């Protein structure tokens, strides 16, 4: 029998890579998932996974630049040591996934092919058609099945994680979970627990996320005392296919392979798109961002599309907002080979072949940059200390968060094709930390007191029974719809304080109503109604973190955009005056960073049903924050001023600190 047992909640890329690594290290794993792990939301990831590679290296790329792109793209809210470690691991992650049998696309000579993705100028992204997430997940699923057949892994699929089990010292000693068929509630004692439960898109009703991504597992840990960080940073993906049940992702790889975004210059031009000549087309991303073109970071592309439809009135359709994403200039065979999977999705759901007719797309909620606050140990070289017990540990000792449900890798905006990387990286890198923790914390999953397990089960049984008995009259499905509407209206692309304030009040009311739900099914067999009701109730703590975090952050950073707090473009024509404006701009930028370059940390206060926010410094010691100037008028002057300041600081600091290579370039 294994010396250690770990519970992993969630079987996407993070959960499976952790499970497989732990099994390799001889640790027994109980893997708990809402769905057969092979169906986890990671399957939806399309475009690819980033790592610098032999080809990009020869063009001047290296791991440090991948790291730099990631924190610059994230508007410097990322903690730098974990990101640095991830970037340096990235090539190794690709190699491993290659060995595990992922059918990455190949070049004519048989090397792994790469495509370009947003927020970088290098072709770093390895891909398997346009279903890279699916292919990576399957490779891990296969390894976990292998370990299962060897007896080290037990899967509990169609089980709902309900709560961590904590002893008197607050330490996590296992979890309580519920069989979604028999409705049995059971305790799973463990030496340590990993929550790898993904994002919380369902808080917004419809998003690009799968129906499992309701945030309930993260919320249950948050309510048990783990902190929730940077909740307000929600990525809205620029390109999705609107639908009544879901907003289906149209991968960034469509643009990576040459897809162009445009609208007719004449509002709602009635001509068929192919009849509109180039001169009558507005390729707004290419015009506004000549260097990055259609591959600006996601937050920027999203705002541009939103702006062109909402403020300029150039939506392709009059009563439904959308823009064209055009691939029709690319050869069909090439499209099939590299983008087949996503083009099929469009064709199946829209009934139109995107190889012949431009797709109609609009932004949709896509990714939670924020999540459970998690710790790390910084190594001497500015990366992470391998095996340190605190890597990825939440505020609850022995409870770890990995993958989309952690918070520190993607800052204020995630770069495309970095999420698959962060999930697999954390699972592989941080799993040994659980063993160090289990060894240093002492005790064992075998000697968790029976009374502790029983009382934890009882508390959940009580919640379950009360809901079934429920005397209220509220319909959980309708409350969810209202929650989704208010969140989508107030906390997506554009945020205004009056709207956020009013959304907070609405969400408070909805939360109270959600406690009075009436279930149309009070049975004790496969009761999806009660499982949904619990998930719905647990969406509110996260929704409140998002809204309150957004309200209190009076700035623009990455995905968080408040028009009332934008920094102005430079207006002066006269060079000296323009220079003076740039100086002022940089002063304001520095002042703003002093105030807001902080992690938002929420603690749940059950007595008031509200999150309490505080702010924590971000480790930006490796790459000094610099302005993100995509498309701003006067960017060159600001850049010049900023470079001078950075150089000055560098020389002042050089007595005390070693130089960090090219890190302080103010490149755009």
Partner 1 sequence: MIAPESNPTSSAAGARQAQMLKVRVLRQDGPGQEPYWQLFDVPREPDMNVISVLQRIAAISETVDGKKVAPVAWDCGCLEEVCGSCTMVINGKVRQSCTALVDKLVEDQPDEIVLEPMRKFPVIRDLLVDRGRLFHALERVKGWVPVDGYYDMGPGERQSRQQQEQNYPLSQCMSCGCCLDACPQYLKIELEQEDGESDEAFAARQAAAYDKGFIGAHAISQAMLFNNHPVGKTLADQRNEELSSAGGIQVCGNAQNCVAVCPKEIPLTRSIARAGRSTTLYQLKKFFER
Active site (catalytic) residues:
298
Minimum Å distance from CB 4 to partner 1? 17
Q: Whole-angstrom Cα distance, residue 530 to residue 180?
A: 10
Contact 631, 303 (CB under 8 A): no
Minimum Å distance from CB 124 to partner 1? 16
Q: Whole-angstrom Cα distance, residue 250 to residue 634?
A: 33
**Per-residue three-class SS string for 173-184:** EEEEEEECCCCC
> Whose Cβ is closer to partner 1: residue 526's or residue 552's?
526
> Whose Cβ is closer to partner 1: residue 230's or residue 537's?
537
Minimum Å distance from CB 219 to partner 1? 17
Q: Which of 139, 224, 198 is nearest to 402 (CA)?
A: 198
Minimum Å distance from CB 138 to partner 1? 6
Contacts of 157 (CB under 8 A, 6+ apart): 11, 33, 35, 36, 37
> Whose Cβ is closer to partner 1: residue 260's or residue 464's?
464
Minimum Å distance from CB 143 to partner 1? 6
**Per-residue three-class SS string for 412-443:** CCCCCCCHHHHHHHHHHHHHHHHHHHHHHHCC
Give the ranges where 491-602 is alpha helix by DSSP (H).
497-514, 528-552, 575-596
Q: Whole-angstrom Cα distance, residue 411 to residue 597?
A: 10
Minimum Å distance from CB 359 to partner 1? 14
Residue 220 structure tokens: 């249950």
> Whose Cβ is closer to partner 1: residue 44's or residue 263's?
44
For residue 615, the Cα-to-chain-centroid distance in whole angstroms is 20
Minimum Å distance from CB 274 to partner 1? 24
- Give the position of tokens 């209220």: 472
Cβ neighbours, 10 Å, residue 509: 12
- State the DSSP string of 144-186: HHHHHHHTSEEEEETEEEEEEEE-TT--EEEEEEEETTT--EE
Strands 172-179, 399-401: pairing is unpaired
In 77-158, DSSP assigns E strands to 114-115, 125-126, 153-157
Minimum Å distance from CB 348 to partner 1? 5
Minimum Å distance from CB 307 to partner 1? 25
Which residues on adjacent β-strands are paired with residue 194?
8, 400
Q: Whole-angstrom Cα distance, residue 454 to residue 222?
A: 22
- Give the position of tokens 């107030």: 490
Which residues on adjacent β-strands are paired with residue 114?
126
Nearest-5° Cα angle at 357, 354 to 362 = 70
For residue 535, the Cα-to-chain-centroid distance in whole angstroms is 20
Contact 262, 284 (CB under 8 A): yes
Tell the burial category of 275 from Cβ atoms under 10 Å away from its Cβ (0-12, 13-18, 19+).
Answer: exposed
Q: Whole-angstrom Cα distance, residue 81 to residue 67?
A: 10
Residue 428 structure tokens: 């592989």
304-330 residues labelled b (16+ CB within 10 A) or e (exposed): bbbebbeeeebbbeeeebbbbbbbbeb
> Whose Cβ is closer to partner 1: residue 99's or residue 594's?
99
> Whose Cβ is closer to partner 1: residue 109's or residue 168's?
109
Minimum Å distance from CB 320 to partner 1? 10
> Whose Cβ is closer to partner 1: residue 155's or residue 645's?
155
Q: Whole-angstrom Cα distance, residue 308 to residue 324?
A: 12
> Whose Cβ is closer to partner 1: residue 45's or residue 229's?
45
Contact 638, 264 (CB under 8 A): no
Q: Whole-angstrom Cα distance, residue 427 to residue 412?
A: 22
Minimum Å distance from CB 27 to partner 1? 13
> Whose Cβ is closer to partner 1: residue 323's or residue 424's?
424
> Whose Cβ is closer to partner 1: residue 172's or residue 491's?
491
Three-class DSSP category at 333: helix
Minimum Å distance from CB 255 to partner 1? 19
Contact 75, 413 (CB under 8 A): yes
């Amino acid at each position: 029998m294994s010396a250690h047992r770990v519970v992993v909640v969630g079987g996407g890329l993070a959960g499976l890579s952790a499970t497989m690594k732990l099994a390799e290290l001889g640790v027994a794993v109980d893997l708990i998932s809402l769905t057969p792990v092979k169906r986890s939301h990671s399957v939806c990831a399309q475009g690819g996974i980033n790592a610098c590679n032999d080809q990009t290296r020869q063009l001047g790329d290296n791991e440090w630049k991948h790291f730099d792109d990631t924190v610059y793209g994230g508007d410097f809210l990322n903690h730098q040591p974990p990101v640095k470690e991830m970037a340096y691991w990235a090539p190794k992650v690709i190699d491993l996934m290659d060995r595990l049998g992922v059918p990455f696309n190949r070049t004519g000579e048989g090397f792994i092919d790469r495509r370009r993705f947003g927020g970088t100028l290098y072709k770093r992204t390895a891909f398997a058609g346009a279903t890279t997430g699916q292919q990576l997940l399957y490779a891990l699923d296969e390894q976990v099945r292998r370990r299962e057949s060897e007896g080290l892994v037990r899967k509990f699929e169609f089980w709902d994680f309900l709560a961590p089990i904590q002893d008197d010292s607050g330490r996590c000693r296992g979890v309580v979970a519920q069989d979604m068929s028999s409705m049995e509630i059971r305790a799973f004692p463990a030496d340590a627990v990993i929550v790898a439960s993904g994002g919380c898109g369902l808080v917004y009703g419809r998003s690009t996320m799968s129906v499992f991504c309701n945030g309930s597992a993260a919320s249950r840990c948050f309510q048990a005392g783990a902190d929730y960080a940077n909740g307000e940073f929600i990525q809205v993906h620029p390109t999705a296919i609107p639908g009544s049940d879901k907003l289906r992702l149209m991968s960034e790889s469509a643009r990576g392979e040459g897809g162009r975004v445009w609208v007719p210059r004449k509002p709602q031009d009635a001509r068929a798109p192919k009849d509109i000549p180039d001169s009558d087309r507005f390729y707004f991303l290419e015009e506004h961002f000549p260097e990055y073109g259609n591959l600006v970071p996601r937050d920027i592309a999203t705002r541009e599309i939103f702006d062109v439809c909402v403020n300029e009135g150039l939506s392709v359709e009059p009563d439904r907002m959308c823009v064209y994403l055009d691939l029709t200039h690319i050869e069909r065979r090439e499209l099939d080979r590299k983008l087949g999977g996503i083009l099929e999705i469009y064709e199946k759901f829209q009934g139109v072949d995107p190889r012949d007719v431009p797709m109609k797309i609009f932004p949709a909620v896509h990714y939670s940059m924020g999540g459970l606050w998690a710790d790390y140990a910084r190594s001497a070289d500015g990366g992470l200390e391998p095996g340190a017990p605190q890597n990825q540990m939440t505020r609850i000792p022995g409870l770890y968060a990995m993958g989309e449900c952690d918070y520190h890798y993607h800052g204020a905006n995630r770069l495309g094709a970095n999420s698959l990387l962060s999930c697999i990286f954390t699972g592989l890198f941080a799993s040994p930390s659980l063993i160090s923790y289990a060894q240093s914390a002492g005790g064992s999953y075998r000697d968790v007191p029976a009374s502790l397990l029983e009382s934890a089960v009882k508390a959940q049984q009580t919640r379950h029974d009360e809901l079934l008995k429920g005397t209220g009259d509220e319909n959980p499905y309708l409350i969810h719809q209202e929650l989704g509407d208010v969140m989508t209206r107030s906390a997506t692309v554009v945020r205004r304080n009056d709207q956020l304030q009013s959304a907070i009040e609405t969400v408070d009311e909805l939360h109270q109503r959600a406690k009075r739900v009436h279930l149309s099914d009070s049975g004790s067999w496969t009761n999806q109604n009660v499982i949904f009701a619990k998930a719905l109730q647990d969406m509110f703590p996260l929704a409140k973190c998002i809204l309150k975090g957004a309200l209190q952050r009076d700035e623009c950073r990455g995905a968080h955009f408040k028009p009332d707090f934008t920094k102005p473009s430079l207006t002066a024509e006269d060079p000296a005056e323009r220079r003076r404006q740039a100086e002022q701009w940089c002063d304001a930028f520095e002042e703003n960073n002093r105030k807001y370059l902080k992690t938002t940390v929420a603690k749940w206060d059950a007595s008031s049903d509200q999150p309490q926010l505080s702010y924590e410094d971000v480790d930006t010691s490796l790459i000094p924050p610099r302005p993100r100037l995509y498309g701003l008028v006067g960017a060159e002057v600001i850049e010049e001023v900023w470079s001078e300041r950075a150089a000055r600081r560098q020389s002042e600091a050089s007595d005390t600190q070693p130089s960090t290579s090219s890190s302080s370039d103010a490149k755009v």
